[in-house]
Amino acid sequence: MFRGGSAGYWAGVTSLMVFGMTLSIFLVIAFSQHLYDLITAPDGSILHIVVIVQSAWNAVQPQWPGLVILPNQPSFINFIAVLIAIIFLAWFLGLVGGVMGVLQNSADVVSRQRQVSRP
């Protein structure tokens, strides 16, 4: 029964890591493309490298939702709170799936025993 909870937990952790890696890879690709476009600008303007990098980062930075769980706390603390809530939800839903699987399996066993016991 608790295998379902464990499976849900690890599914949440694994999907979070895959999402983070994928987001990071594609942010680096988009950043490098914008950086290349700014460096090779045809207008011939000479910009400081810090301005170029900041402009490229601002162009690719995602718009994070303004989800605030704990007001008056830094955004990192809110991120951790949301992360914990999502992992708990994944564990709980996995636990519910495990309980449903156990109930289904026990119903199947009882059904098979009734079929075998009838002559």
Give the structural domain span for 74: 2-117
Buried/exposed 48-80: b ≥16 CB within 10 Å, e otherwise: eeeebbeebeeebeeeeeeeeeeeeeeeeebee
Read off the pLDDT band of 1 (50, 70, 90): low
* Residue reference for tokens 């162009």: 59
- pLDDT value, residue 5: 66
Give this prediction's pTM. 0.56
* Residue reference for tokens 């990098």: 53
Residues in the chain, overall count: 119
Q: How far apart are CA 32 and CA 34, in angstroms?
A: 6
Mean pLDDT of 82-100: 82
Mean pLDDT of 7-25: 83
What's the domain count of the chain? 1
- C-alpha distances in angstroms, 37 versus 22, 52, 80, 111? 23, 10, 35, 68
Mean pLDDT of 84-109: 81
Residue 117 pLDDT greater than 80, yes or no: no
